[in-house]
Amino acid sequence: MKDLFKKFSETGILVIGDLMVDQYIWGKVKRISPEAPVPVVEVSEENLLLGGATNVAHNILSLGGKVFITGVIGRDEMGKLLIHKLREKGVQTDGIIVEQDRLTAVKTRIIAHNQQVVRFDKETKTEIGRSTLSLILEYVQRSLPKIKAIIISDYSKGVITKNLIKEILKLTNSRIFIAVDPKIGHFNYYNGVSLITPNIDEASYGSGVNIIDERTLTKAGETLLKKLKCEAVLITRGDKGMSLFEKSGKATHIPTFAKEVYDVTGAGDTVIATFTLCHSAGAKLKEAAIFANHAAGVVVGEVGTTVVTPEDIMTSIRLSKGRKDILRPKTSEKAKIKPSF
Torsion angles phi and psi, residue 125, rounded to 5: -110, 5
Q: Do 304 and 47 contact (CB within 8 A), yes or no?
A: yes
Marked catalytic residue, from 22, 263, 269, 312: 269
Specify which residues 251 forms β-bridges with: 245, 332
**269 in active site:** yes
d(Cα 117, Cα 266) in Å, to the nearest integer? Answer: 18
CB atoms within 10 A of CB 240: 15
Catalytic residues: 269
